[in-house]
Each structure stands twice: as C-alpha cells, then as structure tokens.
Amino acid sequence: MTDRRNPISPAGDLCAKIQFAHCPRCGRAGLAGRGDSAVHCRACGFVYYHSTVAAVVGIVEHDHRIVVTRRARDPHKGEWAIPGGFVEPGETLEKALARELKEELSLEIDQCAYLASFASEYLYRGVLYFPIVAYFTCPMGDIGALRPKDDVDQYRLVPAAQLLEEELAFDADRRALRAYGQQTD
Ligand SMILES: [Zn+2]
C-alpha cells in the first residue's frame, strides 16, 4: 500500500525507518540495522526482524463494477482504497480476505481468485511497514448485504476503468487495477 509521497526506498537505515531508539528486550540504546529487514542490539544480541507483512485486498465485482471504499481512519483517512487489510497470525490469505470483507463491508464472499501481488510501504504512527499485498477478484451476484463498517465510512460501485488513479490512497491499488484492466480487457 505504497504512499506515492513515500516511494519504496530499500536503501537507508532501517532503524530510522521504524524509529526504534532502544532495544525492545533489554531497553538499552545502540541498535544497528542489519541488512534491509533486521535490527541488531549491540548490548544483548537481540535481533528484531522487521520483515514483510502480508496483506490481502479483494476486488469485489458486481454488475461490471467494483467496490471502492473511503478510509475512515488514518493513515490516508478520507482517501479511497480497494477493501482489504493485514493477515493475522494463523490465517490463510483466503481466510484473511473473507474476514476483512466481512468486517469492512458485511459481505460474505463465496469465491475468490488470485490476481497478483505488489510490494508496498505503509507508514503507521511513525513506523514504516513493508506489506506484500495479495490481490484477489471476488465476483458477487448479490451485494444487498453490503454496509460500510469498521475502517470504512463510504463505498462506491464504479466501473474499474472509470476509477481515477489519483483518488486512490495506495500505489499498490493503482498497480493492481492496471493488472486487473489487462486481465479483463
Ligand atoms: Zn538489547
């Protein structure tokens, strides 16, 4: 879910990107970045892996249109996104997708198909996360149950080709919709 104002930049100090000043185990200062995804405590030897975090997004299709949602919370409050969220420990991608669409839209999906994945960045409360976002298409014959909830305060049903890229909060959504357009052309 890349922010276009914070493009992906693998080089640089991970400690600065995640704003950790002290070791989460021993509490002492003196952390050092180790590669692109870990932080090492020189005092106690602890290594914290700030690895990729899995996320899922569902392109909900109904009557040649797709569902886009307006974000009710920061980051990117008030901007539009394709519905989805982070995978929780123990979940499969499919389970996480079903849970997120239920939580955000009250929708019970009965089928979904993998589309593509995109690496992203997500800045939350000063900490930069590195999601890998898996996109699925979810055809829905009936969306009568659809109600925005939780992290979403509005939704629209729009033909994907008419969605303006600049309306979208996340670059990964823009890239996914291009891939979706190529698939459905
Ligand atoms: Zn330590």
What pLDDT digit, counting tens, does each position of 42-61 carry?
999 999 999 999 999 999 99
d(CA 169, CA 70): 9
How far is the centre of ligand 1, averaged over its atoms, from the C-alpha of 44 (Å)? 4
Contacts of 6 (CB under 8 A, 6+ apart): 121, 123, 128
Which of 18-22, 41-45, 181-185 has the highest mean predicted lDDT (pLDDT)?
41-45
d(CA 69, CA 93): 20
* Residue 11 predicted with pLDDT over 80: no
How far is the centre of ligand 1, averaged over its atoms, from the C-alpha of 24 (Å)? 7
Region 80-89 average pLDDT: 96
Cβ–Cβ < 8 Å for 108, 98: yes
- Tell me the pLDDT tens digit for each residue of 138-173: 999 999 999 988 788 999 999 998 888 888 999 999
How far is the centre of ligand 1, averaged over its atoms, from the C-alpha of 14 (Å)? 16
* pTM score, whole prediction: 0.87
Cβ–Cβ < 8 Å for 80, 154: no
How far is the centre of ligand 1, averaged over its atoms, from the C-alpha of 38 (Å)? 13
Cβ–Cβ < 8 Å for 180, 98: no
Calculate the average pLDDT of the chain: 89
How far is the centre of ligand 1, averaged over its atoms, from the C-alpha of 54 (Å)? 27
Specify the pLDDT at position 7: 42
Region 12-22 average pLDDT: 79
How far is the centre of ligand 1, averaged over its atoms, from the C-alpha of 128 (Å)? 21
How far is the centre of ligand 1, averaged over its atoms, from the C-alpha of 130 (Å)? 23
Specify the pLDDT at position 155: 94
